[in-house]
Every structure is written in C-alpha cells, then in structure tokens.
C-alpha cells in the first residue's frame, strides 16, 4: 500500500511539473533552436517507421508514359525546387531556416532510402511539424506521381539537361499559370 501512494504521488508530481513547465512558456519553439538530442532521435525513428509503414501498401502505376518526365520536372520546378533544390539550382535562402531542413534532392541521398510508394505517400500527405506540405490537399494523384518521377531522376542530371526537360520560364514570365496540366498520369 505504501508503494502505491509513493508511486501515485510521484506520477502526480511529474504531471504537475509538466503542466507548470508548459504554462510557464519557457520551452523554446523557435525553429533555430535544435531539439534535445533524445527528442531528435525519437522523432526521427517515428518519422522513418511511419513513412515505411504507410508507404508499403501503395500500388505504383506505370511511370514511364510519354511526357510524364517533362510534366513531373516542370511541376517539381514550381512546387519543390525552392525547398529541395534542383540540378544547378540551390535551395532558396528561406529553406536554410526550416527545421528540420529539407533534404537537397540532387545529392541522391533520399532516393537511396525511399521506395516509390513511400515517396508518393510523403508528397501526398506531408510530414507533421516540419515544412513538408501535404500536396494531396490541392493536387491530384497523377500530378503527385509526376513529382515522384522527377525526384527519382534528379541525381546525376546536369543543369542543362534539367533546363531542357523543364523548359524553365524566363524572368518576367508569370509562373502562376505555369502549373502544367498535360502529361500527368490520368488515374480517373
């Protein structure tokens, strides 16, 4: 019985301390202050396991249709390049301030660990508490598969090859209307 009370009081004390800590506002949510190393290790495990688990049942459609690489790279250039970079295009300066930082895709590091299903799942659903948006909110699956194709092909591509595929808009041209509509997988 004595141990029961000691245990209950300890749990209550820890809970009260946690509430006080949160209410005090002393935890720093700033993106330029790194996580404690234990938090970082736990979050990384949670992310990796979650992506592997959710990506494994996804059926991958044929990804080599005509114009699909072009459409995918064009969309990548509009929607992903500023955070993840592209051959000959560094990430935008604001991406340096994202925490966790977006991986630089031309390096090929992410491609070595992600299956097509996992990549599709991440792009469609995003990753909580990071800058990675859920593109499924505004784009169709066919468009998202386009970015999977681009993602896979970036490593080893030169800037000239990339520019030739993406037909990059010239300065002064509006990119707002540049969302390509042709060449994507039609899954309907």
Q: Which residues bind ligand HEC (CB under 6 A)?
A: 47, 79-80, 83-84, 98, 100, 102-103, 110, 114, 119, 122-123, 127, 130-133, 135, 147, 151
C-beta of 35 vs 159, nearer to ligand HEC: 35
Closest CB 44 distance from ligand HEC, rounded Å: 8
Dihedral sign for Cα atoms in the order 10, 15, 21, 23: negative
C-beta of 65 vs 100, nearer to ligand HEC: 100
Which of 153, 139, 133 is CA-nearest to residue 181? 139
**Alpha carbon distances (Å) from 58 to 12, 13, 18, 104:** 44, 45, 40, 25
Residue 113 sits at the vertex; the CA angle it makes with 108 and 114, to the nearest 5 degrees, is: 95
C-beta of 83 vs 166, nearer to ligand HEC: 83
Of all residues in this chain, which one has the CB nearest to ligand HEC in the complex? Answer: 80
C-beta of 130 vs 161, nearer to ligand HEC: 130
């Amino acid at each position: 019985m004595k141990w029961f009370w000691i245990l209950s009081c300890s749990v209550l004390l820890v809970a009260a301390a946690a509430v006080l800590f949160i209410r005090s506002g002393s935890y720093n949510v700033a993106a330029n202050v790194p996580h404690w190393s234990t938090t970082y290790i736990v979050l990384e495990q949670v992310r990796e396991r979650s992506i592997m688990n959710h990506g494994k049942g996804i059926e991958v459609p044929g990804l080599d249709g005509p114009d699909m690489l072009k459409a995918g790279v064009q969309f990548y250039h509009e929607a992903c390049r500023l955070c993840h970079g592209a051959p000959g295009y560094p990430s935008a300066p604001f991406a340096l301030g994202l925490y966790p930082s977006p991986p630089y895709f031309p390096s090929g590091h992410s491609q070595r660990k992600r299956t097509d299903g996992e990549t599709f799942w991440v792009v469609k659903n995003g990753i909580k508490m990071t800058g990675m948006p859920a593109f499924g909110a505004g784009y169709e699956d066919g468009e998202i598969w386009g970015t999977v194709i681009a993602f896979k092909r970036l490593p080893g591509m030169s800037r000239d090859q990339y520019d030739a595929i993406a037909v990059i808009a010239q300065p002064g041209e509006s990119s707002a209307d540049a969302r390509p509509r042709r060449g994507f997988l039609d899954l309907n």
